[in-house]
Chain A
Amino acid sequence: MTKPPSASRFRPARRLASLSDHGGLVAEIDRRRLLRGGFSLGALAMLTGCDVTDNDAVQRGLRAVSRWNDRVQAALFRPDKLAPTYDRAQVVKPPRFNAYYGIEDVEPVDGAAWRLELAGLIGDRRPWTLREINALPAQTWIYRHVCVEGWDYIGQWSGPNFRLFLERIGADLTAKYVAFRCADGYTGSIDMPSALHPQTILATGYADEPIADPFGYPLRLRTAVKLGFKNPKWITAIEVTNSYPGGYWEDRGFNWFSGL
Chain B
Amino acid sequence: MTRQMHPPAIRIMHWLNALAMLVMVTSGWKIYEDEPLFGTVRFPDAITLGGEAQGALQWHYAGMWLMVANGLAYVAYGLATGRFRRLLLPIRPGELLATLRDALRLRLGHDDLTRYNPVQKAMYVGVLAIGFVQVISGLAIWKPVQFAELTLLFGDFQGARIAHFVGMMAIVLFVFVHATLALIVPQTLRAMLTGNPGGSR
* Contact of A76 with B53 in the complex, beta carbons under 8 Å: no
Q: A77 vs B148: C-alpha distance in the bound complex, in angstroms?
A: 12
* Contact of B146 with A65 in the complex, beta carbons under 8 Å: no
* Contact of A15 with B146 in the complex, beta carbons under 8 Å: no
* Contact of A224 with B52 in the complex, beta carbons under 8 Å: no
Question: A13 contacts the other chain (Cβ, under 8 Å)?
Answer: yes
User: CB within 8 A of A144: which of B45, B58, B61, B144?
Assistant: B144
Q: A63 vs B58: C-alpha distance in the bound complex, in angstroms?
A: 7
Output the nearest chain B residue to A78 by Cβ-Cβ distance: B146
User: CB within 8 A of B53: which of A61, A78, A84, A149?
Assistant: A149
B136-153: CB near A (< 8 Å → 1, else 0) gives 000000011110100010
Q: A62 vs B59: C-alpha distance in the bound complex, in angstroms?
A: 7
Question: A225 contacts the other chain (Cβ, under 8 Å)?
Answer: yes
Knowing A147-B35, A150-B35, A151-B35, the reply to whether A253 touches B54 (Cβ < 8 A) is yes
* Contact of A65 with B58 in the complex, beta carbons under 8 Å: yes
* Contact of B57 with A260 in the complex, beta carbons under 8 Å: no
Question: B65 contacts the other chain (Cβ, under 8 Å)?
Answer: yes
* Contact of B19 with A44 in the complex, beta carbons under 8 Å: yes
Please count how many residues in chain B sit with their CB below 8 Å of the partner chain's CB atoms: 34
Please count how many residues in chain A sit with their CB below 8 Å of the partner chain's CB atoms: 40
Knowing A53-B59, A83-B148, the reply to whether A14 touches B32 (Cβ < 8 A) is no
Question: B50 contacts the other chain (Cβ, under 8 Å)?
Answer: yes
Q: A84 vs B150: C-alpha distance in the bound complex, in angstroms?
A: 12
B22-44: CB near A (< 8 Å → 1, else 0) gives 11001000011011010000000
* Contact of B54 with A259 in the complex, beta carbons under 8 Å: no
* Contact of A66 with B49 in the complex, beta carbons under 8 Å: no
10 contacts between A and B (CB under 8 A): A53-B49, A65-B61, A84-B145, A149-B34, A152-B158, A254-B54, A255-B58, A259-B143, A259-B145, A260-B144
A binding-site residues for B, Cβ under 8 Å = 13-15, 19, 44, 47, 50-54, 61-63, 65-66, 69, 76-78, 81, 83-84, 144, 146-152, 224-225, 249, 252-255, 259-260
